[in-house]
């Protein structure tokens, strides 16, 4: 594909011919099975540098160590693997989980690894000793993150409560939610003292972690699945409602939806370029001007946008439901490259710190590392 090709130039073909439509009653079961099998064997050019294929089911989560030597992936097979990013060799398996491992993370100095499953079992492992050092079994898990400066582990639960643990002592505090709705997402502010959390009823709440008290609550959204923050911790955006919130007082200051859209799936800020990027399940990729929240660029991808991550040199990685990852230049909204090899939905993307490689996982049961 020519490097200058714009996403706008990707043609999407729709059929208006009624003869092309086949009613389900007209499909012969045997022929249909053969057709699906033929589609499943369709060749996809794999441009990845390395494929990790030890998981037996979908791979939901991934993380890369700060020194970029190790990766961890968690899957529907109830296992997390720690493996070498150069060779794909397994260092050790994180076993003992009772449900899909949906959360994995390295701590700030790569000495500890946290793995969490949907049923609420959280395990912490020593990377050097390759053994379990702490475990907690509680409420169904929604999200999990390490503090950026200390061995403090934070998780949000389906009950709405947020747990904050010191590891490995296990000393903890609880940021209690009395709404009895899931805490769907949590982001630590750069100051390390405050946490922004979203809830299934649409509330967004800023917490003082030390005092275990909310500072403010925003209730402008009907539901919130994920949050994203500016690097300076001044603004946040919610998905799917696309509300932009000022974190100093919790006030909504804008909404970023094009006329044909009702919600977004993913979002990212870039304060250096003064932009906000959003992606939707309809395939719309939009670049917004911060401040005025006016649309700067818009492109249409022929697949649902499920994930967004920043690369280097003003590049953005766009994960899709059909298995491709598009590398785009956000200044012009132009397509630079398509990273192919996965055969199903992209479920996680983790850029390496040097910006030269990208770890991805998929519903197809594999994890891959791409050279950018």
- CA dist 343 to 202, 301, 346, Å? 34, 17, 9
Checking 308-312 for CB contacts under 8 A at 24+ apart, the result is 308/266, 308/267, 308/268, 308/277, 308/279, 309/268, 309/349, 309/350, 309/351, 309/358, 310/268, 310/270, 310/351, 311/351, 311/355, 311/358, 311/372, 312/354, 312/355, 312/356, 312/372
pLDDT of the residue at 330? 93
pLDDT of the residue at 333? 87
pLDDT of the residue at 233? 96
Identify each DSSP E strand in 251-293 by its residue range: 251-255, 266-270, 275-279, 284-289
- CA dist 288 to 9, 142, 220, 252, 255, Å? 20, 29, 21, 16, 10
pLDDT of the residue at 23? 37
DSSP assignment letter at 20:
G
pLDDT of the residue at 42? 63
Task: Going from the first residue of the chain to its last (372 residues), give the mean pLDDT of each consecutive group of 10, the final group possibly shorter.
Answer: 40 34 37 37 86 98 96 98 98 97 97 97 97 95 96 97 96 90 97 97 96 96 93 96 97 94 96 96 96 93 95 94 96 92 97 92 98 92
Place domain 258-372 in its CATH homologous superfamily: YVTN repeat-like/Quinoprotein amine dehydrogenase (2.130.10.10)
pLDDT of the residue at 355? 83
Beta carbons within 10 angstroms of residue 48's beta carbon: 21
């Amino acid at each position: 594909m020519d490097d200058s090709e714009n996403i706008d130039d990707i043609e999407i073909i729709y059929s208006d011919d009624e003869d092309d439509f086949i009613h389900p009653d007209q499909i012969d079961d045997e022929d249909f099975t053969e057709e699906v099998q033929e589609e499943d064997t369709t060749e996809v050019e794999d441009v990845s540098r390395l494929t990790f294929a030890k998981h037996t089911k979908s791979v939901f989560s991934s993380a890369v160590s700060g020194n970029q030597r190790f990766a961890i992936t968690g899957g529907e097979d109830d296992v997390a693997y720690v493996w070498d990013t150069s060779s794909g060799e397994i260092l050790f398996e994180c076993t003992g989980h009772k449900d899909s491992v949906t959360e994995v993370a390295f701590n700030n100095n790569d000495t500890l690894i946290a793995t969490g499953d949907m049923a609420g079992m959280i395990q912490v492992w020593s990377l050097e000793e390759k053994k379990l050092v702490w475990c907690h079994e509680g409420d169904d898990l929604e999200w999990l993150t390490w503090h950026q400066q200390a061995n403090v582990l934070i998780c949000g639960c389906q009950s709405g409560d947020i747990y904050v643990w010191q590891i490995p002592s296990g000393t903890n505090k609880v940021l209690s939610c009395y709404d009895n709705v899931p805490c769907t997402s949590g982001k630590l502010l750069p100051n390390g003292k405050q946490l922004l959390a979203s809830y299934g009823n649409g509330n967004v709440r800023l917490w003082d972690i030390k005092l275990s008290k909310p500072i403010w609550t925003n209730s402008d959204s009907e539901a919130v699945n994920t949050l994203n923050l500016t690097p300076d911790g001044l603004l946040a955006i919610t998905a799917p409602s696309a509300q932009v919130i000022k974190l100093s007082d919790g006030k909504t200051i804008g909404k970023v939806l094009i006329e044909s859209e009702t919600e977004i799936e993913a979002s990212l800020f870039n304060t250096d370029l003064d932009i906000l990027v959003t992606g939707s399940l309809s395939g719309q990729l939009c670049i917004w001007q911060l401040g005025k929240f006016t649309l700067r660029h818009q492109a249409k991808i022929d697949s649902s946008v499920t994930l967004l991550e920043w690369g280097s040199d003003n590049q953005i990685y766009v994960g899709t439901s059909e298995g491709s990852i598009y590398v785009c230049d956000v200044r012009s909204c132009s397509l630079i490259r398509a990273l192919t090899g996965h055969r199903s939905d992209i479920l996680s993307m983790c850029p390496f710190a040097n910006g030269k490689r990208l770890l991805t996982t998929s519903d197809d049961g594999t994890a891959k590392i791409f050279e950018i």
